[in-house]
Amino acid sequence: MTSLISIRMDDDLLEELKGKAELLQVSQTDYIRRAIRFMNKRIEKRERRKRIQRASLLCREGSMKVNAEFSEIEHDPED
């Protein structure tokens, strides 16, 4: 389904939009669509990176605990 939206922007931004769209030989509407898709992908990438970093930290914490347990076993005087 296609929806119509209305955007208000400063004249400077509109002129920049027109110039960039012309440079790419696309309509202003297509340029805006591309810009939105680009930003959406960028945000998704950033959020994915954050999720990976959080998971990595959790994994690291678990690994550090396991390493500490192994260290205790290795230095156990009973062996």
In tens, the pLDDT along 57-68 reads 888 877 877 777
Residues in contact with 28: Cβ distance below 8 Å, sequence separation at least 6, in sequence order: 17, 18, 21
- Do residues 28 and 21 lie in contact, with contact meaning Cβ atoms separated by under 8 Å? yes
Looking at residue 59, its pLDDT comes to: 84
Residue 53 in this model has a pLDDT that exceeds 60:
yes
Residue type, 74: E
- Do residues 28 and 38 lie in contact, with contact meaning Cβ atoms separated by under 8 Å? no
Calculate what percentage of the chain has a pLDDT beyond 70: 94
Residues 12-39 pLDDT 10s: 999 999 999 999 999 999 999 999 999 9
Higher pLDDT pick, 41 / 75 = 41
